[in-house]
Amino acid sequence: MQTMTSRLAVFGLALSVLAITPFGSVLAQDSTPAASTPDATKQHAPDPQKQANRLAKQLGLDSTQTAKILPILQARQQQMAAARADSSLAPSDRKAKIRSIRQDSESQLQGVLTPSQQQKYTQMQQNAMEHRQGNKQGQGKQAPAEASST
């Protein structure tokens, strides 16, 4: 049971990273000017095929569902890369556009899932969010806690 929870947390974390990570390797392949920035070359785009396979395994998707979610993940990856590469957008507009892309793809994914799969997927996302928040809190408070325990 704990292994299943750990796997779900890791998967949720992977999804969250997908949602917030620049897709530098995709940009580098396109050889756009944004690809020459230092930050763009450090990041790697998650593989939509691997994501689809992971979702299929963790949510128990059938082959039809897996075939439907793959283009959703691919489109999200391309749209996110384009939004991050769009230097004409102000940072707040870019963030809003990325949030919109994420919401649209999430609703499309939810439309492919059965109600029980939707519940599992939602739980995976919640676990990932809790994990991220725990990591953020742990990073800022770790040093003082260690100092007080000695």
Tell me the pLDDT tens digit for each residue of 74-86. 999 999 999 999 9
d(CA 73, CA 119): 19
Instruction: Flag whether 101 is in a domain.
Output: yes
Number of domains comprising the chain: 1
| Predicted pLDDT of residue 111 | 95
Instruction: Flag whether 116 is in a domain.
Output: yes
| Predicted pLDDT of residue 62 | 95
Long-range contacts of 30-37 (CB under 8 A, 24+ apart): 30/81, 30/85, 32/85, 33/87, 34/84, 34/85, 34/87, 35/85
| Predicted pLDDT of residue 148 | 44
Instruction: Flag whether 145 is in a domain.
Output: no
Instruction: Flag whether 6 is in a domain.
Output: yes
Work out whether the CA dihedral 69, 73, 76, 82 comes out positive or negative: negative
Structure tokens at 73: 């993940």
Nearest to 70 by CA among 50, 40, 44, 100: 50
Instruction: Flag whether 138 is in a domain.
Output: no
Instruction: Flag whether 71 is in a domain.
Output: yes
Q: Which domain holds residue 20?
A: 2-123
Instruction: Flag whether 117 is in a domain.
Output: yes
| Predicted pLDDT of residue 90 | 94
d(CA 28, CA 34): 8
Instruction: Flag whether 30 is in a domain.
Output: yes
Q: What is this structure's pTM? A: 0.60
Higher pLDDT, 16 or 123: 123
Higher pLDDT, 148 or 14: 14
